Structure 1
Amino acid sequence: MSFYTDNEHEKGRLATLHWLVHPPETAAEFFLYGEYAFRLYEFRKAFAAYKHAANEEIGALFKLGWCFMHGYGTATDKRKAASCFGRLLKSASEKEARHRYYIGMCYLYGSDSLKDEEHIWYLFANCSEKIEAALYEQGLFFIDDRKSFAKDLPNAVFYLRKAYDMGEERAVFAMEDLFHLYKKDYPDHTELVQAYSWRLGRILRAAEKSPCREYYLRLSDCYRQGFPDDSPGNRKKFLRLADEYKRFAEILPIEDDAT
């Protein structure tokens, strides 16, 4: 495995041992447990943990809204997502550095109104820690069409690479898309394949551990995307698996909120 996957595997192993011995009790602990479960793609556990902590923990309130927005561990519900983001903006303060990332995310994704991109950039750049998720969002500023930020490959890769090295998994796939957009080969094919393997393994584990419609559909999508530049034989095998898991999903009921 790569340094990234080795590091993430060890972090996950230690976290699993910790939560086995010290189950969450406080709101802050339930939020951290939710983050642990989310990284393992066990979204229903994560959603339940965020829901438990949302009244007391700003991070949990944001992630609860994020789950509703994207259907992680629950049915997609944009109205409930907007409600969570609205509650967060009423209770959080930009004077507190630990709140700035969540406020910036609510401004960026939680409203259809005009966005002050430079102010959101300031919030991401001035979090209590230079967290990987904020770096990831900063990288996207140089990929997406923005009013105040031009598309810029070097700047995008600069922030995304820092985010990935700190543990933000989404960053490597954003870099892959970016290089593809510019018709360039990803500079480290092995790293990309290992990142796909690491993601597929956790999605497969979650689906086998807690079979449900959502997990099977996510596994189907992952198999359908497949590994970068895979052989025709493996590609055919993965497409067959994608169809099988989609059929498994279709015979299961649509889930509501995680219990």
Structure 2
Amino acid sequence: MQIPTNTFKRALETYAPLWGCWAGFASGYATEIIAGTGFDWLLIDGEHAPNTLPTILAQLQAVAAYPTAPVVRCVNHDPALIKQLLDIGTQTLMVPMVESAEQAAALVRATRYPPHGIRGVGGGVVRATRWDGVDDYLNKAADSLCLIVQVESPKGVEQVEAIAATEGVDAVFVGPADLSVGMGYPGNPSHPEVQTAIRKVIETVKAAGKPVGILAPMEEDARRYQSLGCQFIAVGIDISLMRQGALSTIGLYKERPAERPSRTY
């Protein structure tokens, strides 16, 4: 048996735009619904959504039958948790709040087996190896993994060139909300200074020859970031889509004050 192809990593190599959706319900049932709607990739959020290893596993299993590529975001840099996420079959991992090349290199080591890293060997008890059904998994695993690091703080922006140059980092993802808070403009990622910082990240990562992504549920934001060079853009959040749909439906029957869509995401 061969390792399943990492379709997200392969798609990044084509330089075509990839449109994604945040999956925040922590439910395999809900994530499977989104997986069948045509998004190129889904972000299974282990940082802010109420996910656990079993719920992330359920979502990986639920979307496996669909062409949508799953990306899993972990809650922190803990190498033990990263090991567990890889063992349950995560192939594309997004890690929040990376602020230095040293942190990026440590994350690369957490995804590699010795002598190139510190990932522990689960062998026949883990889904990633298909319970020892994958031929030569230990030597092939790294090629099937895609590591995305998030730059979402002023310090990360300062260090983005070194972060992007780190061997083993496959892509960089910008976090507009955290960046705006860190720069002193909470709830206002559209502030000119924040936009200047985002542009710097995009240009620096592209100059390093690596893909860059961002979260932008507002179409005008998404189109602007695409024009700046972002390749993979999350243009929806499942929870927000449900809430907006519910408000629209009840608005047909009950008079309600209009809500301005949030740009803080």
> What TM-score comes out, normalization by structure 2 length?
0.28
Q: Which has the higher helix share?
A: 1
Higher relative contact order (CA 8 A, sep 6+): 2
> What TM-score comes out, normalization by structure 1 length?
0.29
